[in-house]
Structures are given as structure tokens and as C-alpha cells.
Amino acid sequence: MDPVSIQVDVQLSPAQLEAIARRAAEIVAAASAQQSDPRSPYLTIAEAAEFLRTRRQRVDDLLSERLLTRVKDGGRTLIARAELEAYLRGETRRARRARLVDEAA
């Protein structure tokens, strides 16, 4: 069966168009509110390197220098995304940890 192509012209008043736009915005807002942030709050070392746009070795160095805090999960080493964001803002480790504790409370 061959597809059929038709053209339909619809004329809407500005008020009708506005009502459609408002309803579409409501649907999008409701869908967004139902979804939580799909990003994990923790990153692996490889993900952290990608996030920082650097080499994995640089992340290992930051961990060894205690400029970033490692979180162990079994055999995996994880780094808090919030700590990486704070590091990029130039916050000191002490300030980052204090803010993370405040956010957790």
C-alpha cells in the first residue's frame, strides 16, 4: 500500500494559538517535574576525567594530593559530582566539604 500525502490548512486565532502553546508548556513542565535528575551524583575516575576534560592521570593526581575526596564502593573509586563542580569553581577542599555537609543536612 502506497503512503498517501494530504495537506490540511488550519486557521487559528491568536487566542487559540496561545491556548495550544500554554497547554503544550504545561505538559512539558509536568513531565519535567516528574523526572528526577538522571545523572548520578558520583562519577568514576574515567567519568571524572571526562567531566574535567583532562587525563585520568590528572584525576589520580588530584586524589593522591587530597585535592579531591575518593569514595570507595567495593572495588570502585567514585568522586562526588558536586565536589568536581566546586573544584572547577576554585573552592578549597575545606569549603567544598563544608558545603557538601550543609547540603546533605
Cα 78 → chain centroid: 16
- The answer, yes or no, to whether residue 47 has pLDDT greater than 70, is yes
> Would you say the pTM of this structure is higher than 0.85?
no
- The answer, yes or no, to whether residue 86 has pLDDT greater than 80, is yes
Q: How far apart are the first and last CA of the chain?
A: 63
- Is residue 40 within 8 A of residue 1, CB to CB? The reply is no
Mean pLDDT of 25-47: 81
Would you call 72 helix, strand, or coil by DSSP?
strand
